[in-house]
């Protein structure tokens, strides 16, 4: 088994993806006194610390559903001398409106979402996120919640639903075959540990397919993590809430690592940068004009150097918008 780095400071355990790019995109909107930056997926605070250094008059509202990550981020921000400009909140990122309201803030000038799994969560062996370390099959990002674990899903869901999760959330070609093996296995003893699941996947996936595409367990573990934490359902709501809270001139940057995530981001962003005027309308009314414009063309990817030095960067897609006009209020 590989050694983890859970005893290291946050800045040595997690290398933020596309860090310079995201800071360059966000910082111009955060230079005025009182500017509010919402990092909705705070993690260990890598992106947030860099933004606070680049925007010395901004205040951070850092949100994360993982209490352990929040504690590590607090230590990091304090160590880097920016902690006094940070308010950290235990919540999911679809609760941005409630968090801002509780703090008496009308909106945000910058919003960052770095989706997916952090190095901290992979390194925390007893959480079951990693296929490299044998641990209980938990995979909850918030272990204080009473939601189902990955072991619960594999024990209780019908075979067809397990296959759907693996196919839709993990792009797993052998989803049906794996789901069948899971159901056969649980008739005698349900899967409760990550090592047991890895062994089942080794048996279920054809040898020819193991030669390429990375570890054979990667897609299944990703799919289960997304399902356990309801990541796509929360993301769809969170994107709308985040876009609604951005002030005119403010900016939003989202990094996604999975085709389902990026599809939701692209759909939500496209809706805001296109006119809502009905087809054939001779004049575009003010209320139909787009409320955002793109800051980058399509989705940015990491360059070859970053992909080579940071494994998380291999699949990243970064999209960014700036708000150009307020939304029209309903009369």
Task: Name the nearest CA neighbour of 134 among 92, 193, 89, 192.
Answer: 193
Backbone angles phi, psi at 304, to 5 degrees: -60, -40
Backbone angles phi, psi at 303, to 5 degrees: -80, 175
Rounded CA separation 310/20 (Å): 14
Structural element, H or E, at residue 112: strand 108-114
Rounded CA separation 128/144 (Å): 15
Rounded CA separation 50/17 (Å): 12
Q: If you count DSSP H runs as helices and E runs as strands, how many of each does the chain have, helices first? A: 15, 7
Binding residues for S-adenosyl-L-methionine: 45-47, 64, 93, 114, 121
Rounded CA separation 323/245 (Å): 10
**For residue 148, how many other CB atoms are within 10 A of its CB?**
17
Backbone angles phi, psi at 321, to 5 degrees: -130, 160
Residues in the chain: 331
Rounded CA separation 161/4 (Å): 33
Is 235 within 8 Å of 203 (Cβ atoms)? Answer: no
**Contacts for 141 with CB less than 8 Å, ≥ 6 apart:** 65, 66, 121, 229
List residues bridging with 195 in a β-sheet.
none
Q: How far is CA 49 from the centre of its chain?
A: 18
Rounded CA separation 38/60 (Å): 6
Rounded CA separation 97/118 (Å): 24
Binding residues: 45-47, 64, 93, 114, 121
């Amino acid at each position: 088994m590989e050694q983890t780095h859970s005893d290291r400071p946050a800045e040595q355990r997690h290398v933020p993806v596309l860090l310079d790019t995201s800071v360059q995109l966000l910082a111009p909107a955060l230079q005025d006194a009182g500017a509010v930056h919402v990092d909705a997926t705070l993690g260990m605070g890598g992106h947030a610390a860099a933004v606070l250094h680049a925007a010395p008059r901004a205040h951070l509202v850092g949100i994360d559903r993982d209490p352990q990550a929040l504690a590590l981020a607090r230590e990091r921000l304090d160590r880097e001398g920016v902690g006094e400009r940070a308010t950290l909140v235990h919540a999911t990122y679809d609760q941005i409106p409630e968090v801002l309201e509780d703090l008496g803030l009308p909106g945000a000038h910058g919003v960052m979402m770095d989706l997916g799994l952090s190095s901290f969560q992979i390194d925390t062996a007893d959480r079951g996120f990693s296929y490299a370390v044998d641990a209980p099959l938990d995979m909850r990002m918030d272990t204080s919640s009473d939601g189902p674990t990955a072991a619960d899903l594999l024990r209780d869901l019908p075979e067809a639903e397990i296959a759907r999760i693996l196919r839709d959330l993990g792009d797993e070609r052998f989803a049906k075959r794996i789901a069948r093996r899971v159901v056969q296995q649980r008739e005698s003893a349900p899967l409760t540990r990550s090592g047991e699941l890895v062994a089942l996947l080794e048996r279920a996936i054809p040898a020819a397919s193991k030669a390429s595409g990375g570890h054979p367990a990667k897609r299944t573990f990703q799919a289960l993590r997304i399902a356990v934490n309801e990541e796509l359902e929360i993301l769809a709501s969170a994107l709308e809430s985040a876009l609604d809270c951005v002030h005119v001139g403010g900016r939003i940057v989202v990094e996604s690592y999975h085709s389902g995530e990026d599809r939701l981001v692209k759909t939500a962003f496209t809706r805001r940068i296109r006119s809502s005027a009905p087809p054939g309308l001779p004049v575009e009314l003010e209320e139909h004009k787009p409320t955002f414009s793109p800051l980058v063309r399509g989705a940015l990817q990491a360059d070859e150097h970053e992909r080579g030095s940071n494994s998380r960067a291999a699949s990243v897609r970064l999209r960014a918008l700036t708000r150009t006009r307020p939304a029209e209020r309903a009369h």
